[in-house]
Structure 1
Amino acid sequence: MITAPGSGQGKSIVTAALARLHRNAGRKVQVFKHGPDYLDPMVLEVASGRPVYQLHPWMTGEAECRWRLAKAAGEADLVLVEGAMGLFDGDPSSADLAVLGGLPVLPVIDASGMAQTFGAVALGLARFRADLQIHEVIANRIGSPRHGVMLAESLPEGLELLGAIPRDEAMAIPDRHLGLVQASELTHLDRQLDAAATVLAEAGLDRLPATVALQAPAPAQPDRLLDGVRIAVARDAAFAFIYRGNIDLLEAMGAQLSYFSPLADDGLPQADALWLPGGYPELHAATLAANTPMREAIRAHHRAGRPILAECGGLMACVSSLVDLDGNAHAMLGLMPGTATMEGRLQALGLQSLHTREGNLRGHTYHRSSLDTPLEPRARTRKLAGTEAEPVFQVGRLTASYFHGYFPSAPELVARLFRGQPLAF
């Protein structure tokens, strides 16, 4: 597991560069991401050349975490898991996942503003929990070779410096208001990852870790609750927040998936149901508003009484208007009354679940827009503490919320959504 004392230490690019380094050496690399995150996995998929799945003991479940790790260990030469926030932050934390999976932990520590204190930080991470395996650390953003030597000398007995990474333009990926810029928007990402891999190799980070044995039973196959159901999935620069595990589940339940671009296409594929996932509609609101044929096609789908699931950015596209980051209002689909307005700070963040008689769908919320609508919610998600959170709206067979669900946590509920069958809250 690649982790850090906190956010902003550089663990995302270090994980991606490690994946590219070993991939370029001819090894098969499987990368995972701890927690509910869409943007980091996009970069990690480009780096490794393989699909990236989420691991989270609560959201995806402990059994799935163990199984995915064991499956990867049987197929890949190297398995990397990028942690979330700081090593001990959150519940469950990255440390909890490491212990659950039996993974050694490799902290990345931004050493740009410290010398001997580096050893104290590394010691604290290594000794805070007795059940963690931390034997090596990485120093990031060092100022000189001598700085790296000082950091190595500061480490106590039992801890070693795997490598010291100098400051380098290749080790920085631009971000925006919800996280990293999407990988598809970074035109020179492959070139940058190759350069970052070279930086790591020169810093001595090309050594494979010790072998770890991982074993776990495979889960039972889901019932084919969506056999023959055609689901059209929006996927482009405006709608890209899609878990690989969600796609796998829909296909395993028998759904026939096709993809379309609300930005570029002028019509829908043949579909019984639509999925409008999250993304950045606020960055493309003018283009969405101008694509009149697509807007009418989605409205016709809704008028015909066919199901639509709209998550976060998908919800924002379904309301009457969207006010973007510059304060400009754009006409949206109008499937439900209301205005989504981009705000100056996050409006909601955290793990949540949607409780129904058909199961409890686990997931999260993370958005910087507010919603003004006269509609009364059909239900509300719940935070881990049990308090009510995001509203869930239903208009005809449209189900819309800021909530992002992890479909494998409640297959029967998900199947009912895409079949347009009523839910019992």
Structure 2
Amino acid sequence: MPADLPLTSADSMPEGRAVPALLVAAPASGQGKTTVTAALARLHARQGRVVRVFKTGPDFLDPTLLAAASGAPVDSIDLWMTGEADARARLAAAAQSADLILVEGVMGLHDGTPSSADVARLFGLPVLAVIQAGAMAQTFGALAYGLAHYGQPFRAMQVLANGVGTGRHADMLRGSLPPDIAWSGALPRDASAALPERHLGLFSADELPDLMTRLDRLADGLAELPVSQLPPPVAFGQPVSTPAPTRLLAGKTIAIARDDAFRFIYPANVETLSALGAQIAWFSPLRDAALPACDALWLPGGYPELHGTTLAANVAMLGALREAHAQGLPILAECGGMMALFDTLVDKDGVAHDMAGLLPGTVTMQRRLAAIGHQAVTLPGLPGDAIRGHTFHYSQTQSSLMPTAYAVSPRDGGQGEAIYRVGTLTASYVHLYFASNPQAIAALLGGPTA
């Protein structure tokens, strides 16, 4: 656990409203935990329950699916990036109205520092382990035993077998479990209900026109299993009344890019901008010919590499971005947003596309992951501590521009992503979590620094 991360046990917090809650985890990525979490959310939501879902770790795609399934926004819980206080406050607030709280884990249950297991222990959450069991028999029990007994104990552990072939197979898996691990049922293989993926993860909810049909099919598959029963209640503490940030962006309008190419936006980031007093104006770099009237721009991450032809063809928007920069509007560009501001973007097929040209050089898609992990960003003149965030990308840049600074990896203190500043433009591969330092975000977007 990082040295700057003091954790408070659930037992030491003042009791709030107790709500049935469950952390859905797995031994690794690709086991089906997003599918199962979404199916559980859909199952209970269509029974009339208020379901709130949270996603452990920095993620933009899974939350869109979980939000569609539950009918409510999905916030992130990351004990380093968002911090314990932020996570505790959001969970406590959700518990005031929810009938069920689900938390989807990240990677394997014990992977990372901090891990999904740390989240489960910190908040006293029982754990549902989803294990892809299609190619195993009694090893299922050994794997479940290891998940449950590695490190400090959990409040409770149950397991769901995924990808099971036959009833006899399910009986074999169930018989392999030790008595302290509950059997939650078996899901058969069902390719028609699977959630499709690509290089950055699952497709976003608005890219799947048949998503609700898939979710209903998945929910139907859980309806008769033990996992469909409500988990035990968890008390999340009293909601904390935290002082709102100074309205450093009062009277300012922040234009935010949002469309198929730019979609990686934490709900908490938009909440932070609103709490700072900003008005939000949405626009589409793919479809719009002009920017909305605004005082600053935020270009979040996404998939510009999948829409290079359309972006390059929208010369009016590229010109509007150049004009906004020339006029001195503050611009924050993250990952995909930064990619669209280089001279050239080369997609995965090797096709080069002309971009906005605010950053000299070329950004090129790679076949393999280029970087992943937490990042801390500190820039000269920004108030407060570092802004926390993460990086995850398949592209690499070649530029004559010298970075103003580098982000830092909290894992080992090593050099992280390059931070570029050209006039009022700040650009990097780092996806920032605005609530980790609202004052610094206000300064980046043109507000006063004090």
* TM-score calculated relative to the size of structure 2: 0.92
Contact 1:144/1:166 (<8 A) preserved: yes
Write out aligned runs for 1:213-362 (5 A): 213-216=235-238, 217-356=240-379, 358=383, 359-362=385-388
* In structure 2, distance between residues paired with 1:229 and 1:354: 24
Q: Matches of 1:55 and 1:151 in 2, distance apart?
A: 32
Go from structure 1 to structure 2 and tell me whether the alpha carbon gap of 1:291 and 1:77 turns closer, same or farther (over 3 Å shift). Answer: same
Residue in structure 1 matching 2:177, options 151, 155, 166: 155
The one-letter code of the counterpart of 1:162 is S
- 2:133 is equivalent to residue 111 of structure 1: yes
Amino acid at match of 1:159: I
Q: Could you say which residue in structure 2 is the equivalent of 1:17?
A: 39
Matched, 1:419 2:446: yes
- State how far apart, in whole Å, the 2-side matches of 1:339 and 1:102 are: 48
Take 2:243 and 2:127, find their aligned partners in 1: how far apart are those partners? 30
Q: Which stretch of structure 1 is more off in the superposition, 316-325 or 129-138? A: 129-138
The answer to whether the aligner puts 1:66 opposite 2:94 as a matched pair is no
Distance in structure 1 (CA, Å) of the matches to 2:60 and 2:241: 25
Quick check: 225-234 or 135-144, which moved more?
A: 135-144
Q: Please give the alpha-carbon distance, in whole angstroms, between the structure 2 residues aligned to 1:60 and 1:400.
A: 21
Residue identity in the other structure for 2:153: D
Residue 409 (str. 1) matches residue 436 (str. 2): yes
Q: Is 1:170–1:196's contact at 8 Å kept on the other side of the alignment?
A: no
- Cα deviation, 1:59-116, whole Å, max 9, x if unaligned, reads 0011111111111122111100000000000000000111112211111111111112
Once residues 319 and 257 of structure 1 are traced to their aligned partners in structure 2, the CA distance between those partners, rounded to angstroms, is 25
Is the contact between residue 103 and residue 212 of structure 1 (CA under 8 Å) also seen in structure 2? Answer: yes
* Aligned residue in 1 for 2:7: none
Residue in 1 that maps onto 2:63: 41
Query: Structure 1 residue 206: deviation in Å?
Result: 1.8
Cα distance change of structure 1 residues 302 and 421 upon mapping to structure 2, 3 Å threshold: farther
- Relative to structure 1, the CA distance from residue 420 to residue 368 in structure 2 (aligned partners, 3 Å threshold; closer, same or farther) is farther
* Alpha-carbon distance between aligned partners in 2 of 1:229 and 1:237, rounded to the nearest angstrom: 26
Offset, 1:130: 2.9
Pick the aligned partner of 1:381 from 402, 407, 412: 407
Question: Which one-letter code corresponds to 2:321 in the other structure?
Answer: I
Aligned with 1:140 (options 151, 162, 165) = 162
Give the partner amino acid of 1:200: L
Q: Distance in 2 between matches of 1:64 and 1:420?
A: 23
- State whether residues 62 and 100 of structure 1, in contact with CA within 8 Å, keep that contact through their aligned partners in structure 2: no
Q: Deviation of residue 147 (structure 1)?
A: 1.4
Q: How many Å separate the matches in 2 of 1:266 and 1:420?
A: 27
Structure 1 CA distance, aligned partners of 2:449 and 2:394? 30
Shift of 1:170: 4.4
Q: Give the direction of change, closer, same or farther, for the CA distance of 1:41–1:234 in structure 2 (3 Å limit).
A: same
- Aligned-CA RMSD value: 1.4
Range with bigger deviation, 130-139 or 181-190: 130-139
**Paired letter, 1:313:** G
Verify the 8 A CA contact 2:251 2:278 in the aligned structure 1. yes
Aligned twin of 2:393: 367
- CA drift of 1:203 comes to 3.4
Q: Is the CA contact (8 Å cut-off) linking 1:123 and 1:155 kept in structure 2?
A: yes
1:139-218 counterparts in 2 under 5 A? 139-216=161-238, 217-218=240-241
Q: Residues of 2 paired with 1:103 and 1:204: CA distance? A: 18
CA deviation map 1:331-378 (0-9, x unaligned)? 000111111000111111110100245121000011100101100011
The residue aligned with 2:100 is: 78
Shift of 1:153: 1.4
User: What percentage of aligned pairs have identical amino acids?
Assistant: 54
| Higher alpha-carbon deviation: 27-36 or 115-124 | 115-124
Tell me by how many angstroms 1:171 deviates. Answer: 4.0
Secondary structure, in 3 states, of the residue corresponding to 2:270?
helix
1:224–1:253 CA contact under 8 A, matched in 2: yes
Gap runs ≥5 in structure 1: none
Shift of 1:311: 0.2
Structure 1 length normalisation: TM-score?
Answer: 0.97
Q: Is the CA contact 1:361–1:410 (under 8 Å) kept in the aligned structure 2?
A: yes
Which shifted more, 250-259 or 124-133? 124-133
Paired amino acid for 2:304: P
- Say yes or no: does 1:395 pair with 2:422: yes
SS at match of 1:202: coil
Give the superposition deviation at 1:119.
1.2
